[in-house]
Structure 1
Amino acid sequence: MNKTLLQIFTWWNGATIGTRFHTWRHGTHVGKDEFGNVYYEGGIDSEGRTRRWVLYNGEAEASRIPPGWHGWMHHRTDTSPPHQTYKAREWEKTHHPNGTGTAAAYRPKGSILNAGHRPRVTGDYDAWTPKS
């Protein structure tokens, strides 16, 4: 029962029942990426283009869409990645999801969330202190 309630009331843990029903009724399966996200298209949007959407595998985080699928989702190309003969260049890095809000988030030197200490300011800077 708990899983059913989560599917009805939460969208960030996966597709809701309404989204699954809409996808079943109106969607045409286009493909699946290496992260398990499933892509669909169907119907026409307000600009006259084919409507495209993704059902995330797990948490709904837009940065989890690989570059090829991102281009297809935003109508940069009409050909989906499984139907392309795209070959990654040697200088391209593998995709990593957005780490904001997680332990993998970027924490620069001096951040209160980073255990390290920022080095003291050097040069001709003198901090202002009020005279008592």
Structure 2
Amino acid sequence: MGVLNIIKRIFVWWDGQTLGTQLFTWRRGERVGEDEQGNVYYRNADDTRRWVIYNGEVEGSRVAPDWHGWLHRTWDETPADRPLAHKDWEKPHMPNLTGTPQAYAPKGSIRRAEPMPRADYEAWTPE
């Protein structure tokens, strides 16, 4: 591991865990589970702290609702220990896609590959 990678791991939190988080997790963390995206969830011995180590980009919306409830103490059991019942009409969890090419673009948006002209809009032209 190069010097730049070590410096990056000390200060850069949005590209994975920092060196401090890795040391804290190694010394005090108890692994409690993993979600479908490969994010790994931990707690300390007396369960006063709970945290997630992301697999890839650090983005809060990538935490599945089941694990979000455990992280925020909505329930005590992990989804690995006591899976939540899901309805057949529920859609799978999706992270927030705002700012990505997959973000929603309504009809007529210039962000669409083929923007369609809006029928309810008339451009203003000066007289």
Report if TM-score (shorter chain) is over 0.5: yes
Q: Is the 8 A contact 2:30 2:44 kept in 1?
A: yes
Corresponding position of 1:64: 62
> What is the percent sequence identity of the aligned residues?
49
1:13-24, aligned counterparts within 5 Å? 13-24=15-26
Match of 1:82 among 57, 80, 83: 80
How far has the Cα of 1:33 moved from its partner?
0.9
Corresponding position of 2:97: 99
Query: What's the TM-score once normalised by structure 1's chain length?
Result: 0.80
Moved runs in structure 1, 4+ residues, more than 3 A? 126-130
Q: Is the 8 A contact 2:97 2:103 kept in 1?
A: yes
Superposed CA offset, 1:98-130 (max 9, x none): 1111111111122222231242227xxx88776
Q: Is the 8 A contact 2:62 2:96 kept in 1?
A: yes
Measured in 2, the distance between the counterparts of 1:10 and 1:118 equals 43
Measured in 1, the distance between the counterparts of 2:75 and 2:18 equals 28
Flag structure 1 segments of 5+ consecutive residues without an equivalent.
none
How far has the Cα of 1:37 moved from its partner?
0.6
Corresponding position of 2:119: 120
Residue-pair matches, total = 124
Query: What's the TM-score once normalised by structure 2's chain length?
Result: 0.83
Match for 2:92: what amino acid? T
SS in 2 for 1:31: strand
Residue 11 in structure 1 maps to residue 10 in structure 2 = no
How far has the Cα of 1:93 moved from its partner?
1.0
Match for 1:116: what amino acid? P
Match for 1:86: what amino acid? L
Flag structure 2 segments of 5+ consecutive residues without an equivalent.
none
Match for 2:51: what amino acid? W
How far has the Cα of 1:63 moved from its partner?
0.9
How far has the Cα of 1:21 moved from its partner?
0.9
Match for 2:23: what amino acid? F
Q: Is the 8 A contact 2:30 2:45 kept in 1?
A: no
Larger Rg: 1 or 2?
Answer: 1
How far has the Cα of 1:15 moved from its partner?
0.1
Q: Which one is further off, 101-110 or 74-83? A: 101-110
